[in-house]
Amino acid sequence: MRISIIGAGRVAYHLVRVLSAQHEIVQIYSRTLDKAQQLANRFKAQAIAQPENLNQNIDLIIIAVSDQSIANVIRQVHSYLQDVLIVHTSGSTHLNVLADIHAKSGVFYPLQTFSLEREIDWENTPLFIEASDPTDQEILTHLANSLSKRVYQYSSDQRLSLHLAAVFACNFSNYCYDMAKQVVDAQQVDFSLLYPLILETANKATQNDPRQGQTGPAMRGDQNILNMHQQMLEQSQRQDLAGVYKLLSQQILERHHS
């Protein structure tokens, strides 16, 4: 396929990288030409910064920008690409954000966390496909199957619920790792000592019901330990961590002892 990408951030980078192995990346479009140029140079594509320069002789446009920018992007490019299938990669944006403006619309959502310095295991990354037209749905499904063995055709509502769950499972849990590192750094303790615990917790959550795998003082209802931890955080002037600790402990207590 001949594919152009709108965006030059983390998701765009990883998509260009994996798609370029089997498909032709024609253009990288970004409002910041330097960013588009950096990505385009690596994968022998053309960098552009104006929508009127988009090549219409392509099979697919992938919008890989921030969620709040998607609606503005489709309004900018629609008139130049009326016969081209255009998809976004957002988990939290309804298909209609595109479909209300552009007839050939779809969603190509990889359920994954993206960092520039990390490799992505595309074969095991779930890809969620949705399209306005059955033919376009088949095109996206075929493309997804070329990347991953886990391809699903989900509605926008189902995808939105998955994205919400992903925020809890990924973004919030990573912030908890960040807080844990702050706690041990304050006492010059090596954060890597927590690695086996972090990995076992993640493995256990993927193999068993997370509710059944809950452990710790809140799960046990050990108020003495909870109070001690709370005092430690307050005495160290970490009211931010103390607030999170109190909230999560209370939620666990209510979940398991109500």
- What's the CA dihedral at 223, 228, 232, 238 to 10 degrees? 10
φ, ψ at 208 (rounded to 5°): -140, 165
State the pLDDT at residue 70: 97
For residue 3, give both structure tokens. Answer: 């594919």
Mean pLDDT of the 241-251 span: 97
Q: pLDDT digits over 100-152, tens only?
A: 999 999 999 999 999 999 999 999 999 999 999 999 999 999 999 999 999 99
User: Is residue 129 packed enough to be buried (19+ CB in 10 Å), middle (13-18) or exposed (0-12)?
Assistant: buried
Inform me whether the pLDDT recorded for 23 exceeds 90: yes
Inform me whether the pLDDT recorded for 30 exceeds 90: yes
The average confidence (pLDDT) of the chain is: 96
State the pLDDT at residue 217: 97
CB atoms within 10 A of CB 163: 17
Angle between helices 239-257 and 223-235 (to 10 degrees): 170
Inform me whether the pLDDT recorded for 21 exceeds 90: yes
CA distances from 118 to 88, 112, 113, 137, 172 (A): 22, 12, 10, 30, 19
Contact criterion met (CB below 8 Å) for 114 and 90: no
Locate all alpha helices (DSSP H) within 1-146, ordered by sequence: 10-19, 33-42, 70-77, 96-99, 134-145
DSSP code at position 115? -
State the pLDDT at residue 158: 96
Return d(Cα 139, Cα 64) in angstroms, integer: 18
The CATH 1.10.1040.20 portion of the chain extends over 160-257
Q: pLDDT digits over 199-238, tens only?
A: 999 999 999 999 999 999 999 999 999 999 999 999 999 9
Return d(Cα 213, Cα 35) in angstroms, integer: 44
Locate all alpha helices (DSSP H) within 78-133, ordered by sequence: 96-99
Q: pLDDT digits over 163-172, tens only?
A: 999 999 999 9
State the pLDDT at residue 258: 80
Contact criterion met (CB below 8 Å) for 40 and 51: no
State the pLDDT at residue 65: 97
Closest CA to 98 of 81, 112, 110: 81
Q: pLDDT digits over 42-63, tens only?
A: 999 999 999 999 999 999 999 9
Return the amino acid letter for 111: L
Mean pLDDT of the 230-253 span: 95
Return d(Cα 74, Cα 100) in angstroms, integer: 10
Query: Please, which residues have CB within 8 angstroms of residue 193's CB and are 6 or more apart in sequence?
Result: 184
Return the amino acid letter for 17: R
Query: Please, which residues have CB within 8 angstroms of residue 40's CB and are 6 or more apart in sequence?
Result: 27, 28, 46, 47
CA distances from 52 to 58, 77, 78, 160 (A): 14, 8, 10, 32
State the pLDDT at residue 219: 96
The CATH 3.40.50.720 portion of the chain extends over 2-154
Inform me whether the pLDDT recorded for 245 exceeds 90: yes
Span 2-154: which CATH code?
3.40.50.720
Percent with pLDDT over 90 in the chain: 98
| Domain 160-257, CATH homologous superfamily name and number | ProC-like, C-terminal domain (1.10.1040.20)
Return d(Cα 161, Cα 65) in angstroms, integer: 20
Angle between helices 239-257 and 173-185 (to 10 degrees): 130
State the pLDDT at residue 80: 94
